[in-house]
Amino acid sequence: MKFKTLAVYCFLFASSASSCIQDEALNSEAAIDACSGTNVQLANIDTNSKTINVYVHKSIDISKQELKFTVPEGATIKVNSPITGDTESTYDFSEEPHSRQFTVTSEDGQWKAVYTVNVVPTELPTTFHFERLFSSNPYDIFYEFQPGTSQNASKVLQWSSGNKGYELTSMAKTNADYPTVQSINGYQGKGVKLETRNTGSFGAIVKMYIAAGNLFIGSFDVGNALKDPRKATKFGFQFDKRPTSLKGFYKFKAGDIYTVKGEAQSGKRDKFDIYAVMYETDNNSDMLDGDNVFTSDKLVLLARIDSESAVETDNWKEFNLPFKPVNGKTIDNNKLKQGKYKLGIVFSSSVDGAYFEGAVGSTLYIDEVELICEE
């Protein structure tokens, strides 16, 4: 009898403990932590007002705007008042005031949060100062913002980098340990510091021994970072001007030991890279990537620093790179007005970093960049 009573108590305790564990496992958070999508140049989330301003180029068809939301584990998100044509990842924002509401429900179902998402037509800036960072991130995320007027659209850009991929290595203990960080000692004010980093045991396992510091206009697809890393870097946003040159200031110091496939190469010195591309595309979702950025037949203009000019210097040195025609192509005025061209700008602390070749410690500083365009 005592044994039976004890067994019942044990059963009840186990059931109660199991119930507690199950309850504790359910997440009660209801929030939108991040927002991205094709052609999204910047997504600014105000957690207090639960408002998200999504900036896209003014020429984009926002009747099928792709949005990808990052929500807490187990939470779900749905658009309020669906419109014909909406899908699981694309939404129609064509009606004024280009605003929709989305509801996030926590995993435990007890909490809901309603967010207002505004799509704001904008254009790329042509000056870049690297003074602004998003707060509350494990690594630095740069953005540029120049407010619009009644006559002109806002000019905004969220820069991309491979920091999100480097996070997979668990090598960074603070944001200062990532390959792409802000420097307080820019040419004017703050600037960018790009440093080629060791990827540790994780990198050795996947044969990606280094991570070059990089910064670029476009997006980084962390889902491709391991299986097809060069395709993870996607370059370019819509641009409706004719660029003639890319100018700015840099400092560079190469790391001590150049490696290829993790093996030291004697007599080899690392170089950095700076380039800009302008290419044509009939599909807004098409983007050049690390595999085809120099070889695609869509390429129209290229500005790139040559190896002889990419010298080491302890002092700030100006660069001025002219755009040159590629593939015998020229810019078509009609396509330019229709938003059929994209522009990408790329900085890297190791010129062959995309192939995991370079020197740990190679450091490139960039600041006060300007894109010169025809009037």
Structure tokens at 216: 């670029």
Structure tokens at 302: 């290229």
Q: Which of 301, 191, 290 is nearest to 245 (CA)?
A: 301
pLDDT at 42: 84
**Does residue 19 have a pLDDT over 80?**
no
Place of tokens 């206009």: 217
Burial label for 160, CB within 10 Å (0-12, 13-18, 19+), is: buried
Place of tokens 């192509």: 329
Q: Which of 50, 84, 36 is nearest to 64 (CA)?
A: 84
pLDDT at 11: 47
Q: Cα–Cα distance between 201 and 325 in angstroms, integer?
A: 43
**Does residue 31 have a pLDDT over 80?**
yes
pLDDT at 23: 53
pLDDT digits (tens, 9 = 90+) for 286-335: 899 999 999 999 999 999 999 999 999 999 999 999 999 999 999 999 99
Which CATH number is associated with domain 124-373? 2.60.120.890
Give the dihedral of Cα atoms 119, 125, 131, 136; nearest 10 deg: 20
Q: Which fold has domain 34-121?
A: Immunoglobulin-like (2.60.40)
Q: Which of 10-24, 142-156, 158-172 has the least mean pLDDT?
A: 10-24
Q: Cα–Cα distance between 162 and 342 in angstroms, integer?
A: 20
Q: Cα–Cα distance between 26 and 107 in angstroms, integer?
A: 6
pLDDT at 6: 42
Q: Which of 370, 335, 346 is nearest to 239 (CA)?
A: 335
What is the average pLDDT across 182-191? 98
Contact yes or no for 349/272 (Cβ under 8 A): yes
The answer to whether the Cα torsion of 264, 265, 270, 274 is positive or negative is negative
Give Cα separations from 333 to 338, 340, 342 (angstroms): 9, 10, 14
CB-CB neighbours of 231 under 10 Å: 15
Phi, psi (rounded to 5 degrees) for 347: -125, 140
**Does residue 14 have a pLDDT over 80?**
no
pLDDT digits (tens, 9 = 90+) for 246-283: 999 999 999 999 999 999 999 999 999 999 999 999 87
What is the average pLDDT across 122-132? 96
DSSP string, 189-257: S-EEEEE-EE-HHHHHHHT--EE--EEESEEE-GGGTTTSHHHHEEE-EE--S-EEEEEEEEEEE--S-
Quote the DSSP letter at residue 135: S
Domain pair 34-121 / 124-373, same fold: no
pLDDT at 2: 45
pLDDT at 61: 87
pLDDT digits (tens, 9 = 90+) for 210-222: 999 999 999 998 8
Structure tokens at 9: 């108590």
Domain extent listing, the chain = 34-121, 124-373
Where residue 5 falls among pLDDT bands split at 50, 70, 90? very low
